[in-house]
Amino acid sequence: MTTQIVKSLYHVLDNPNFNKDCLAAGQIKSKDWLVKKVEDHCPDLGIVFLCAGWYATLATLLFESKVIITKIRSFDIDSSCCEIAEQFNMPWFADEWKFKATTFDILNLTYPLTYNTLNDKKEKITLTDMPDTIINTSCEHIPNFNNWYSNIPHNKLVILQSNNFFELDEHVNCVNDLDDFASMAPLSEILYEGELDLSKHGGYTRFMRIGIK
């Protein structure tokens, strides 16, 4: 686990909205796997849209890796996520918003995106960003996934994860295997695809696809 995540725990553990499941072994292993494969196959991500970013611990791992990042914009529909996500990424949040979290329904994403967010004084401001890379590690949680995916422009780098853990009610878009995932999220160029056995950490398999839409 990275130094910044450990430092941030002292600030977020008392937050009543904090869900410790973000630190579960399966969660950390899945994100660490992603970072290693990104370092190997596409180490320059430019401007990143982290979709359904939750607490954006993945952003922390990416910032502390060898990956080149211009900035990360994390979007989650849950309004309780922003404060915690910015705490986990405080060094980059404080660095002219190299990291910024915003409450936003990713099903409404457009490219480029003009959106409202809050500044350090909790005042509403408007930003416009156009990503080079779109990341979604929670594809199993996304209803109307086809609509979300079809909105992504062609020739964008996408990094996607899903799983076969059908037992959870909130998992509305699981896949059976990599072929199932590929049919749901087709790529014009595949940089990496694989699976991670997490049978010892929840009894499921995590699938990942990295490539150009």
Question: What pLDDT digit, counting tens, does each position of 69-111 carry?
Answer: 999 999 999 999 999 999 999 999 999 999 999 999 999 999 9
How far apart CA 84 and CA 150 sit, in angstroms, is 30
Closest CA to 76 of 36, 106, 119, 43: 106
Q: What is the pLDDT of residue 1?
A: 55
Strands (E), 119-203: 124-129, 133-136, 157-163, 189-198
Mean pLDDT value of segment 8-30: 91
Question: What pLDDT digit, counting tens, does each position of 189-212 carry?
Answer: 999 999 999 988 778 999 999 999
How far apart CA 112 and CA 9 sit, in angstroms, is 34
| Whether the predicted pLDDT of 2 surpasses 70 | no
How far apart CA 98 and CA 39 sit, in angstroms, is 19
How far, in Å, are 9, 167, 179 from residue 87 at the CA level?
Answer: 9, 31, 37
How far, in Å, are 11, 30, 168 from residue 207 at the CA level?
Answer: 32, 9, 17
The model's pTM: 0.95
Number of Cβ within a 10 Å radius of residue 66: 11
How far, in Å, are 10, 52, 116, 123, 133 from residue 126 at the CA level?
Answer: 31, 20, 5, 10, 21
Whole-number average pLDDT of the chain: 94
Tell how many helices (H) and how many strands (E) occur in the chain. 7, 9
How far, in Å, are 69, 91, 111, 114, 188 from residue 94 at the CA level?
Answer: 15, 5, 26, 22, 37
DSSP tag of 153: P
| Whether the predicted pLDDT of 58 surpasses 90 | yes
